[in-house]
Amino acid sequence: MSKKRIIIALLAGALVWAGCQPVEVDNISDSTPRKQTGQTDSVWTLTIRAEKTDSPRTKGLAIDGTDESSTTVLKSAWLNEEKVYVYLGDTQIGTLAVAVDETDFHKATLSGTVTTAGITPGSTRLTLLTPNTRDQWTYVGQAGLLLVNDGGPSGLVNSIAARYHMAQAQDVLVTEVSDGNLTTEKAVFENQQSIYRLNFRFQKGELKTPITARVVTITAGNGGLWKGWNMGTGPITVNLLNPTADPFFVALRNEDTSNEEDLHFEVIATDGVTYLGSKTIPAQYKPNGTFVSAKNTTLTSRLGVAEISSGSVSEAL
């Protein structure tokens, strides 16, 4: 074989060998997105069965009569106008509408869309919150109302039902992803605070006199009352929309739910006098979701105007 023919044969063999080598995919530039299961940014349709029960951990939105001040029972209930906010980790990814079951107001179907990446069936867990977002989760600004209309443009503006009865379902597992739909396990909601029914009277000797409260500031002995999401802890002040000597309602969330608690009250009455007193809440009544009746809490000190303006609380009248 001539030298020229040998060179041509060698070159042909080299080309055949090179054509059998694997291609390094990572080195190829391709502007077309590749869909990766569980990682694609997508809009998903989400439908969830949800439930609130009448167990002590989920007391909520309905009373056993029409008179708030005399009610002794709170029941949980879904409202058709409620919204449920969906979180993946710390990020809000969507909002769901509530459709209450016609035969059982403890149950509802939640539906809407969420937008997110990183959904993995069998491991992704969602957090659901109602009736407000985390940024709106607060116990500041209460007016002493449970359900009644406070005269605002949308009705229950400052009532506990509208703003302060936050309920949450945590670790709701995504079980299936199919054709743009997410399927999850049932979401069981638990209320995140307790509802306290309060009214006050002043005791001097054997005489107990009802106090018509106008402003009530509540402080926990351990300093653990929530002010709101990312707001820290501290006293909760209630400016009663309608000053009253009758029972009214306050939503409180305490960091310590295991030990008895001394709640301290500073009550400004319609007579201009400030009254002071305390109430011990037993440990069994402290877990979030309970209904605590502290009717006729006795206050044992009252301050004069001069003492209040000077900041002195050492002398009682």
Q: Based on the fold, state whether residues 117 and 75 are members of the same structural domain.
A: yes
Q: Based on the fold, state whether residues 77 and 47 are members of the same structural domain.
A: yes
Could you give the count of Cα atoms lying within 13 Å of 205 in the half-sphere of its Cβ? 1
Beta bridge partners of residue 85, listed in sequence order: 95, 129
Q: What is the CATH number of the domain that holds 268?
A: 2.60.40
Q: Based on the fold, state whether residues 215 and 305 are members of the same structural domain.
A: yes
DSSP conformation class of 288: T
pLDDT in tens, 216-269: 999 999 889 999 999 999 999 999 988 999 999 999 999 888 899 999 999 999
pLDDT(37) > 90 = no
Q: What is the mean pLDDT of residues 274-303?
A: 88
Q: Based on the fold, state whether residues 221 and 291 are members of the same structural domain.
A: yes
Q: Based on the fold, state whether residues 184 and 201 are members of the same structural domain.
A: no
Q: Based on the fold, state whether residues 288 and 219 are members of the same structural domain.
A: yes
Q: What was the pLDDT predicted at 124?
A: 96
Q: Based on the fold, state whether residues 304 and 199 are members of the same structural domain.
A: yes
* Listed range (19-23, 68-72, 151-155, 271-275) with the worst mean pLDDT: 19-23
Q: Based on the fold, state whether residues 178 and 216 are members of the same structural domain.
A: no
Q: Based on the fold, state whether residues 204 and 257 are members of the same structural domain.
A: yes
Q: What was the pLDDT predicted at 66?
A: 57
pLDDT in tens, 75-99: 677 877 789 999 999 999 999 999 9
Q: What was the pLDDT predicted at 97?
A: 94
Residue 228 domain boundaries = 194-309
Q: Is residue 22 part of a domain?
A: no
Q: Is residue 114 part of a domain?
A: yes
**In the block, residue with structure tokens 């307790």:** 194
CA 151 from chain center: how many Å?
24
**Number of folded domains in the chain?**
2
Q: Based on the fold, state whether residues 173 and 260 are members of the same structural domain.
A: no
Q: What was the pLDDT predicted at 292?
A: 86
